[in-house]
Structure 1
Amino acid sequence: MNRVKKVLINLVLPLIVIFILFTYNLFLGIAGILAYIAYIAYTIRTAIFVFLGNIRYSKGDLKGSSEYLRRAYITGKCKPATTASYAYLLLKSGNIEESEKILERLAASDISSDDKMLVKSNLALVYWKKGMIDEAVDMLTEVFESYRNTTVYGSLGYMLILKGDLERALTFNLEAYDYNGSNHVILDNLGQTYYLRGEYEKSLEIFEKLVSQKPSSPSTYYNYGLLLDKLGRPADALENLKKALGYNITFLSAVTEDEIKDKISDIEKRMG
């Protein structure tokens, strides 16, 4: 019944009004059509902004995508997933405070369980960037208990590495590998875990599989470069470290431009 009422109000009634306007005057009818189009555009503006934001994101325009999602957000009619995406883009550009504020407000609101897990997954990234690794691990562990997917496996696996709990990191990242052994983040995590444990041949096997897939993450080539340098292959290490600089490094990247350049400088000095 509500659907019928909506159709009557939003379609049938306006068409009747436009028809009446045309019977009085051609220009009044045209004005009525233009007003109706403007009304429709206004009512679906949130969806339009989200659509345009998604197009910008697919083209790699993070700034443009963030701006359209900001416009969608301020309409107050965003779906939780869209709001979480906007907060993620804010974080990716380095705006921690605003991202955290939006995510915490969303987490405290009345949203579905799946949406809440998505929000908490993003909030864990905020904690990571604030240096709150234990809190990030705890939150992702909570999410993992009821919401498991490749992204959560990747995020929690990396946080366990940062925490320094290499035993748990290895167990978890092997489980992640069983879950999705082709995902770049999961492979990077496992290869890095082996590297930090001194299991260089196992690490090499994982990284060779990963780089053969030509990932676009600078951290992959950086970590691979560290491994190759450890294995006594400085020239190959330099090649991969320089390759890392060719990819987009954002606030959410696991390595900074300075870290890459410092390692390159270190190897070049040793090579003479």
Structure 2
Amino acid sequence: MNIKKYTNIVVVILSLVIFIAYSKLIAIVLLIGYVVYKSFATIIYYIGSNKYKRNQIDEAYNYFEKAYNINNSPMKIKLYYIYYLLLRGDLDKSDKLLKQLSQNKLTDDDEISIKLNMSIVMWKKNNIDEAVIILMELYEKYKTTIIYQNLGYFLILQNKYDKALEMNLEAYDYNSTNAGILDNLATSYCMLGEYDKSLKIYEELMLEKPTFPSAYYYYASTLLHLNKTEEALQNLNQALKCNFTFLSAISKEEIEAKITEIESSTKLLVK
């Protein structure tokens, strides 16, 4: 029996004894106090989450940090905080906290989450080779959609297109409806010049109504290679309607630059 379960049982038994022998009110107060104590980090986190939704960003991060630092804060709350740090682009702090958490005794899910986030830190620090190494180690132990999704994309960024295609085909067999996996597979085909195959997969992807900008950006790239300029521009403009964060694979500026490039080229051809 672990300590947490043992403590819970002791508190329940103590509350029952007090309830029966002494005071119902004291017993109820004891139980409520214990529940609040056990859930305090979660309560603080959700206060921060509500502030974040209201765009009170700085206040939200203060609450996230407080929730992280509470002694009995659950691992998921700590990982939520690190995720928000990554969204904010605070790579150094994220890296430091992830390394600290990795020293703990971890469940499989915790190990996957921590190493996935470590790989994202490496990617955003322009160390794609280290990011791939981290994910390959995870891939050897676990097979999950998010591992396939991130590894498939990072292999593309590493310019290992044949290897990326092999991985993304395996990922497609694992989960053929995930938007990220479909995007990776279609992009792999595009990078290898197999534009018809890329188009077919992108048509599947668009049925899923992706909400991330890179799907439309890379789809536009395939369409351009097939001389479908108007459709490419439509998808690039659709990409601009998506939400952008520090973790977006494609920036808003890159998409706007691509639109300008296409429109300029089209004007030159007309002349």
- Percent identity, please: 39
2:102 equivalent in structure 1: 107
2:260 equivalent in structure 1: 265
Structure 2: 5+ residue runs without aligned partners? none
Alignment deviations for residues 164-202 of structure 1 (CA, whole Å, 9 cap, x no partner): 111110100000000001100000000111111111000
- Partner Cα separation in structure 2 for residue 261 and residue 10 of structure 1: 63
Q: What is the aligned counterpart of 1:120 among 115, 122, 146?
A: 115
Q: Is 1:136 matched up with 2:131?
A: yes
How well do the aligned residues superpose, as a CA RMSD in angstroms? 3.0
CA pair 35-174 structure 1, distance change in 2 beyond 3 A:
closer
| 1:122 CA displacement | 1.2
| 1:70 CA displacement | 2.9
- Asked whether the 8 Å contact 1:14–1:36 carries over to 2, the reply is no
1:16-165 equivalences under 5 Å are 40-50=35-45, 63=57, 68-165=63-160
- Partner Cα separation in structure 1 for residue 207 and residue 235 of structure 2: 13
Alignment deviations for residues 141-183 of structure 1 (CA, whole Å, 9 cap, x no partner): 0001111100000000011001111111010000000000110
Q: What is the aligned counterpart of 2:222 among 214, 227, 230?
A: 227
- Asked whether the 8 Å contact 2:15–2:28 carries over to 1, the reply is no
Task: Please tell me the residue identity of whatever aligns with 1:263.
Answer: K
- Asked whether the 8 Å contact 1:62–1:89 carries over to 2, the reply is no
| 1:108 CA displacement | 1.8
| 1:208 CA displacement | 0.9
Alignment deviations for residues 200-250 of structure 1 (CA, whole Å, 9 cap, x no partner): 000000111101221101110111111112211111111110110101011
SS at match of 1:44: helix
Equivalent residues, number: 261
- Asked whether the 8 Å contact 2:211–2:242 carries over to 1, the reply is yes
- Partner Cα separation in structure 2 for residue 41 and residue 16 of structure 1: 24
Structure 1: 5+ residue runs without aligned partners? 23-28
- Asked whether the 8 Å contact 1:150–1:180 carries over to 2, the reply is yes
| 1:77 CA displacement | 1.8
Task: Please tell me the residue identity of whatever aligns with 2:10.
Answer: K
CA pair 16-222 structure 1, distance change in 2 beyond 3 A:
farther
Task: Please tell me the residue identity of whatever aligns with 1:121.
Answer: L
- Asked whether the 8 Å contact 2:86–2:246 carries over to 1, the reply is yes
| 1:53 CA displacement | 6.0
CA pair 17-90 structure 1, distance change in 2 beyond 3 A:
farther
Q: What is the aligned counterpart of 1:6 among 11, 25, 32?
A: 11
Task: Please tell me the residue identity of whatever aligns with 1:7.
Answer: V
| 1:6 CA displacement | 1.6
Q: Is 1:169 matched up with 2:164?
A: yes
- Partner Cα separation in structure 2 for residue 46 and residue 15 of structure 1: 31
**Higher alpha-carbon deviation: 82-91 or 41-50:** 41-50
1:26 equivalent in structure 2: none
CA pair 15-123 structure 1, distance change in 2 beyond 3 A:
farther
- Partner Cα separation in structure 2 for residue 245 and residue 203 of structure 1: 22
CA pair 54-153 structure 1, distance change in 2 beyond 3 A:
farther
Q: Is 1:204 matched up with 2:195?
A: no
**Higher alpha-carbon deviation: 81-90 or 131-140:** 81-90
